[in-house]
Amino acid sequence: MNVLIKSATIIDSKSDFHNQTVDILIEKGTISQIASTIKNTNDYKEIKLDNLHVSQGWFDSSVSFGEPGYEERETITNGLKTAAFSGFTAVALNPNSNPVIDSFADISLVKAKAQNHAVSLYPIGTLTKGALGENMAELFDMSQAGAVAFYDYQKPIENPNLMKIALQYASNFDGLIMSFPQESRISRSGVMNEHVSSTRLGLNGNPALAEELQIARDLFLLEYTGGKLHVPTISTAKSVELIRDAKKKKLDVTCSVAIHNLYFTDDALETFNTNFKVLPPIRTQSDVNELIEGLKDGTIDMVTSDHNPIDIEHKKIEFDHAKYGTIGLESAFGALQTLFTIKKTIALLTNGKERFGIEPSSISIGEKANISLFNPDETYTFHKTNITSTSKNAIFENTELKGLVYGVISNNKMIIK
C-alpha cells in the first residue's frame, strides 16, 4: 500500500514530529518520509481531510464480538470494521462467545478469522474451562496459540485457591491473569449501583463493597504468589485507592476503567433505559471523580470501551431481565475528548499495549505505518447513524461528543470512512 497523507498534525510524544503539521509518505506499508511538504511524484493516493490529526494506532483491551455462536450480535469481520472506523488498530477480544474461547483450537479459530485485516485482533482465553469457574483451562496451550491474557469475562472467580494457583502457574510463562472485580455473594441480584437512586427506583443494588472485597482479595493473593494481574473495569473510588496502594508495594498489577464509568452516574437510570445496564454498574459522582483522578496520576493504566454488542431481544425488555452491556467503540474517542485534553485522550487510547504483549509504535521514518486518523475539534450528537456495529445498544446515544474519527492505516492496509 502506497499513500501520501497531506497536512496532518501528529499527536505522538514518541515522534520527532510531535505537534507538527506535516505530510507523511507511506510506501509498502512503511513510513518512508515525513516533511512539511512532500511532492507526489509517483502519483500515489492522497489523503486530504478537514483538520486532520494522526497518532499511533489506538488499542482497546476489552471488546466482545459474539462470533462464534452469537453472530446476530456481531461478527468478527464487522467488529473489526467497527474498530477501524472508530480509530482502533488493535483490540483484545474477550472469550465470551458460544462456545467460549478456552482451548488452543478456539484461539487459532478467531485469529484465523481476523487474518489480513487492518485491525489486529489479540484473543483472550478463558481462565477456567467453559468459563464455569471450577477448573483451570489449558492456559499454556492457549498462550502458545496466541492468547494474550486469561479471563472469564465479567464472571468473578469465587474460589480463591483457584485464583492463587492460576497466578502461580501463569508466572511460569509470563502469562497475564485477569480477574473480574465482583464478589458475587455480595452483589447477588443487584442490577445497578446500590445507592439512593436504587432505592428510589426500586431496583436491586450492587454495592461498591462487592467490587472492593474482590479486588482486596486478589491483591492479597498477588502479593502471596507473585505473577501478573490485570483488574478490568474498576468503578469505585475505593478500588482506585486499593490499586494505588498495591502499586506502592511494587505488586505487578494493572487495571482499566470503562469509558462510560467515567462519564455517567447512576442518576442516568431514571428512565430505565436498559442501555445503561452495564457491569460493573455506573456509580456516583464521587466515584467518577476518583476514577478520573486515578487516570491522571497513573493509578489506572488504561481505558476501554468494554464494547459488548447485545441483540435487541435481550435489551428491549424489562430492566431486571435485560442483559448487561453497551457498545462503545464508536463513541470512545468522542466521549474521552469531553473529559480530557487531546494529548491525554491519545495517551489513554494508546496505553496498555505492552501489558498485553503488543509492540508499541510511533509515527517515525522507517516505522511500519500504524496510524489512527481523526479530527479532534468536531462536536456532534451521537445517534444510531454513527453506529457501525450490528447491535445498537449504545449507552452514549443522544449524547454530545467531541471529535470525529476518519479511520486507520495499519498492517499495510487502509480503512477510511
CB atoms within 10 A of CB 172: 10
Domains of the chain by start residue, with CATH? 3-53+365-416 (2.30.40.10), 58-356 (3.20.20.140)
Active site positions, annotated: 306
Per-residue pLDDT reduced to its tens digit, 147-183: 999 999 999 999 999 999 999 999 999 999 999 999 9
| Residue 5 confidence class, pLDDT cut points 50, 70, 90 | very high
Query: The whole model's pTM is what?
Result: 0.96
Q: In 103-258, which ranges are continuous DSSP H helix?
A: 104-113, 139-145, 160-170, 184-187, 196-201, 208-225, 237-248
The pLDDT of residue 271 is 94
Q: In 230-363, which ranges are continuous DSSP H helix?
A: 237-248, 259-263, 285-296, 329-337, 342-350
Per-residue pLDDT reduced to its tens digit, 185-224: 999 999 999 999 999 999 999 999 999 999 999 999 999 9
C-alpha distance from residue 73 to each of 185, 186, 277, 309, 317 (Å): 30, 30, 17, 6, 16
The pLDDT of residue 45 is 96
Range 32-39 average pLDDT: 97
Per-residue pLDDT reduced to its tens digit, 76-122: 999 999 999 999 999 999 999 999 999 999 999 999 999 999 999 99
Site of grid cell 489449558: 138
Category of 112 on φ-ψ map: left (φ > 0), alpha (ψ -120 to 50) or beta: alpha
Asked if residue 235 lies in contact with residue 261, where contact means CB atoms within 8 angstroms, the answer is yes
What is the bridge-based pairing of β-strands 176-178 and 45-47? unpaired
Asked if residue 352 lies in contact with residue 359, where contact means CB atoms within 8 angstroms, the answer is no
Range 298-314 average pLDDT: 97
The chain-wide mean pLDDT, for the chain, equals 97
Range 32-36 average pLDDT: 98
Amino acid (1-letter code) at residue 384: K
Signed CA dihedral, 375, 394, 58, 230: sign only: positive
**Nearest residue to 389 via CA among 58, 57, 65, 62:** 65
Per-residue pLDDT reduced to its tens digit, 18-28: 999 999 999 99
